[in-house]
Amino acid sequence: MTNTLYLPELREMLAENNTAELHEFCTALHPARTAEFMEGLTAEEAWAVLQHADMALRAEIFGFFEEEKQVEIIERTDPAQIAPLIAEMPPDDRVDLLAEIDPEIVEQLMPMIPTAERRDILRLSAYPEGTAGAEMTTEFARLDEQSTVHEAINEVRRKAEELETIYYLYAVDQEDHLRGLISFRQLLTAKPNTKVGELMERDIVTANATDDREDVAEKVERYDLLAIPVVDDEYRLVGIITHDDVIDVVREEAVEDAYRSVAVAPLTAGYLETGIWTLSWKRGIWLAILFVEALFTTFALRMYDWVTAVIPWLILFIPLLISTGGNTGNQSATLVITAMSTGNITLRDWWRVVRRELCLGFMLGSVLGLIGFVTALGVMSAYPAQKEIIASATMVEDSSKTTTVGKETSQDSVANGKTPLADDQVKPNLWSSALVVAATLFLLVPCGTLCGAVLPLVFRRLGLDPALMSNPVVASMIDVMGIVIYMNVAIWMLL
């Protein structure tokens, strides 16, 4: 998505050191768009262009570069030049950025950053990733609740340039305890001599600095906030999180959930930017885990190998049945996980969820069972090898000397004349084989919905992330279940 439209012109301007035009380029557009036009430039070229913007604008344009480019510029430029830029960046962004930089370079940079900003960086970087503290900015408007509306407006006007948002103002006491909130809209419509304390909201939606950023995003969404104040355990105001950061959180969490749903460990960069080794590790480790999990299907089939030896056509429907079971389970798991993460259901609703999914499972199982019945009739009626496979199965019974318990059972039923081995029994066998497929679906689909719905609930109950029960994990479990149900239905109905 590199915009190459302006690149030749930009390079020409740089070569000619055309200060006027470079300044014009930096100031004419929205900083985000300026950054886009510069995407094709090297780190050195980009830095040279940025010299033609004043420090505030420089930091703004820089903030819209891709993270990769930002890191490159910082790592390749003289720290003395970079330090003022870092000082100018929004507090939350610069902490995130510095975490990506070579620690040695950060060590060189830090002493050159002004004390106030340096302290701020140290304070913010103390919060663990994924918490409200790590997302918040410290540039917000603080007010004394004793000040008047007129004074408050003047105060905001004075600081407007450096604040991330001026539209929510927070009243704090001497020890920084959060006392109230007033929106700029309220200030505007109030009488100039009114005290802020009389106007402000005291029932404020806040986040704790240690809260999960996802829960914070959910609050901002629910209350349609422009920003949410972040407090510490003593209810001291330590920062705010603004709407744009919340959108980023929602987006990032959605991408993470999508990755989790197919068992890819979260990536820190975009798809194309992630190295092939990292990507293969983040995918491979899960594929290996799932492989081990899927191994249980092999053991299950191994347990029932005498059944498939006697009735070889059973294997025709194994992938079909287990994938249908897996699909049903995945639907349930995703519906439940999504409903939990959007707050639509909580653990207390577990019984409603189980009832719903069981009911749905039997409804879907009946319909799919019917479809399966018709399908199996079609497949089996055109199956010419049927007779010979049955014949072969008989011979296994006759020739094999090492009989297991299972084998004995089947031999017993053969002896009892229950298995349809004679030529004239092909027709009833067609119907009963279709019935086996139908009955398996009827039983497997509710097991799938139940399993898919319950596993995430159990994980949440245990305090684990329900999304760990990703689709492939659920599907693999249901695969094993599918084989066991199918084989037992076959034993019961055919042997």
Nearer to its own copies, 10 or 390 (CB): 390
**Identified binder of its own copies from the candidate list 8, 111, 270, 417, rule CB under 8 A:** 270
Nearer to its own copies, 83 or 489 (CB): 489
Cα gap 143→170, rounded to integer Å: 6
Stretch near its own copies under the rule CB under 8 A, chosen from 11-19, 71-79, 113-121, 255-263: 255-263
Cα gap 426→313, rounded to integer Å: 13
Nearer to its own copies, 52 or 407 (CB): 407
Q: Does residue 471 bind its own copies (CB under 8 A)?
A: yes
Q: Residue 91: which of 33, 135, 143 has the closest Cα?
A: 135
Q: Does residue 226 bind its own copies (CB under 8 A)?
A: yes
Q: Does residue 29 bind its own copies (CB under 8 A)?
A: yes
Nearer to its own copies, 123 or 282 (CB): 282
Q: What is the dihedral of CA 25, 26, 28, 33, to 10 degrees?
A: 100
DSSP state of 203: S
Q: Residue 419: which of 389, 456, 459, 380 has the closest Cα?
A: 389
Q: Residue 106: which of 90, 94, 89, 123 has the closest Cα?
A: 94
**Identified binder of its own copies from the candidate list 189, 215, 268, 408, rule CB under 8 A:** 189
**Identified binder of its own copies from the candidate list 49, 220, 237, 444, rule CB under 8 A:** 220
**Identified binder of its own copies from the candidate list 13, 479, 489, 490, rule CB under 8 A:** 479
Per-residue x/- track, 287-326, its own copies (CB under 8 A): xx-xx--xx-xx--xx--xx-xx--x--xxxxxx-xxx-x
Nearer to its own copies, 101 or 396 (CB): 396
- Contacts of residue 104, defined as CB under 8 A and 6 or more positions apart, other chains included, come to none
**Identified binder of its own copies from the candidate list 385, 415, 464, 468, rule CB under 8 A:** 385
Q: How far is the CB of 132 from its own copies (least distance, A)?
A: 16
Q: Does residue 68 bind its own copies (CB under 8 A)?
A: no
Q: Helix 67-76 crosses helix 79-88 at what angle (to 10 degrees)?
A: 140
**Identified binder of its own copies from the candidate list 48, 105, 379, 430, rule CB under 8 A:** 379
Nearer to its own copies, 16 or 388 (CB): 388
Nearer to its own copies, 109 or 380 (CB): 380
Q: How far is the CB of 118 from its own copies (least distance, A)?
A: 25
Helix (H, G, I), strand (E, B) or coil at 236: strand
**Identified binder of its own copies from the candidate list 248, 408, 412, 465, rule CB under 8 A:** 248
Q: Residue 297: which of 472, 443, 449 has the closest Cα?
A: 472
Q: Residue 182: which of 148, 219, 133 has the closest Cα?
A: 148
Q: Does residue 334 bind its own copies (CB under 8 A)?
A: yes
Per-residue x/- track, 402-431, its own copies (CB under 8 A): x-----------------------------
- Backbone φ, ψ for residue 319 (5° rounding): -60, -40
DSSP state of 138: S
Which residue in the block uniquely carries the two structure tokens 């009892």? 416
Q: Residue 268 CB: number of other CB atoms within 10 A?
A: 10
Q: Does residue 350 bind its own copies (CB under 8 A)?
A: no
**Identified binder of its own copies from the candidate list 87, 149, 240, 368, rule CB under 8 A:** 368
Q: How far is the CB of 191 from its own copies (least distance, A)?
A: 12
> Contacts with its own copies in 116-175 (CB under 8 A)?
153, 156-157, 160-161, 166-167
Distances in Å between the Cα of 467 and the Cα atoms of 334, 353, 377 are 9, 17, 39
Q: Does residue 57 bind its own copies (CB under 8 A)?
A: no
- Contacts of residue 66, defined as CB under 8 A and 6 or more positions apart, other chains included, come to 39, 273
Q: Residue 80 CB: number of other CB atoms within 10 A?
A: 10
Which residue in the block uniquely carries the two structure tokens 């768009």? 33
Nearer to its own copies, 141 or 238 (CB): 141
Cα gap 30→156, rounded to integer Å: 24
- Which two three-digit tokens encode residue 361? 């499972």
Q: How far is the CB of 210 from its own copies (least distance, A)?
A: 22
Q: How far is the CB of 347 from its own copies (least distance, A)?
A: 11
